[in-house]
């Protein structure tokens, strides 16, 4: 029963995350403006707003103009539901820390999609993430907080240097802010694992895109999604990676 509630909650939140992904880059109101078709602009009726189900019943088309709707909507709703269920299993603590973890997960998911689609990282979502990260640091000791702050400063400084040297062509300034916030959460040495995974996966995708002629050497690729993927990898696999690394020393 609890699992079903978490999944349903994730589906509903995923529907709202779709709104954020679509409207934040356009500067539209994300709360008061009613949901509508992006093509004919007609408001959606209540029975068209059920996550995943409405998309399937309508055959992936607007009920009025019959224009094909983006597959992003059911995919995001499903990913959010599965992500919420995974966070529930991983957190396994009080309701407060569960909700905080879900908030952090949701903000990262929105930034992942917006950066991938528009190559921007919205400050509004970064602020949500920063607040979540700051609250999550409450149980840490002062020494641990200091270590996390230093790690965030070093990672942010490294990316600021790269941003300056490349004049914003290699990295966006949003990446500078994002890596600092993520490093503030992870601290050392997990931030190193995050960066390793991010640069490794980014380089691999770049090589694949160039090899398949889908990109050129000067093609700009959003790096935020790789940082977020590295962040997730550091949380999920950080401990085994550290154990493996230390066994080699």
Write down the pLDDT at residue 89: 86
Region 173-192: what's the mean pLDDT?
Answer: 94
Output phi, psi for 88, to 5 deg.
Answer: -60, -45
Residue 208, number of CB atoms within 10 A of its CB: 11
CA distance 124 to 28: 13
Rounded CA gap, 204 and 89, in Å? 31
SS3 159: helix
| 3-class secondary-structure state, position 43 | strand
119 phi and psi, to 5 degrees? 55, 45
**What is the C-alpha to C-alpha distance for residues 33 and 35, in angstroms, rounded to an integer?**
7
215 falls in which pLDDT band (50, 70, 90)? low
Res. 103: pLDDT tops 90 = yes
The mean pLDDT value of the chain amounts to: 88
What is the C-alpha separation between 230 and 195, in angstroms, rounded? 6
Residue 43 bridge partners (DSSP): 36
Average pLDDT rounded to a whole number, residues 155-183? 90
Return the pLDDT at 50: 82
Is the pLDDT at 174 greater than 80? The verdict is yes
In angstroms, rounded to a whole number, what is the distance separating the alpha carbons of residues 165 and 225? 22
Lowest average pLDDT, out of 5-19, 35-49, 98-112, 227-241, goes to 35-49
The CA distance from 109 to 97, in Å, is: 18
CA distance linking residue 48 with residue 54, whole number of Å: 5
Mean pLDDT of 127-131: 95
Residue 36's SS3 state is strand
Q: Could you tell me the residue ranges of all domains in the chain?
A: 1-92, 122-249
Of the candidate ranges 45-49, 86-90, 172-176, the one whose mean pLDDT is the lowest: 45-49
Query: What is the pLDDT averaged over residues 106-132?
Result: 94
Best mean pLDDT range from 41-45, 91-95, 181-185, 198-202: 181-185
Q: What is the per-residue pLDDT for 115?
A: 93
């Amino acid at each position: 029963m609890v699992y079903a509630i978490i999944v349903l909650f994730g589906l509903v939140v995923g529907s709202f995350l779709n709104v954020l992904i679509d409207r934040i880059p356009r500067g539209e109101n994300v709360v008061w403006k009613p949901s509508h078709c992006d093509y004919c602009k007609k408001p959606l009726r209540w029975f068209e707003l059920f996550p995943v189900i409405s998309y399937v019943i309508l055959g992936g088309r607007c009920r009025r103009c019959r224009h094909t709707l983006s597959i992003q909507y059911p995919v995001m709703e499903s990913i959010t539901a599965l992500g919420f269920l995974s966070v529930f299993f991983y957190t396994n603590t009080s309701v407060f820390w569960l909700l905080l973890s879900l908030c952090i997960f949701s903000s990262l998911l929105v930034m992942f999609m917006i950066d991938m689609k528009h190559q921007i990282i919205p400050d509004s979502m970064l602020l949500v993430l920063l607040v979540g990260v700051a609250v999550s640091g409450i149980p840490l000791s002062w020494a641990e907080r200091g270590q996390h702050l230093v790690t965030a400063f070093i990672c942010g400084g490294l990316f600021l240097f790269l941003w300056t040297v490349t004049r914003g062509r290699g990295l966006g300034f949003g990446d500078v802010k994002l890596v600092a916030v993520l490093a503030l959460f992870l601290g050392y040495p997990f931030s190193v694992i995050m960066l390793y995974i991010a640069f490794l996966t980014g380089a691999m995708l770049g090589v694949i895109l160039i090899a398949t002629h889908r990109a050129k050497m000067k093609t700009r690729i959003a790096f935020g999604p790789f940082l977020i993927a590295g962040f997730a990898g550091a949380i999920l696999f950080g401990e085994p990676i550290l154990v493996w690394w230390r066994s080699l020393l």
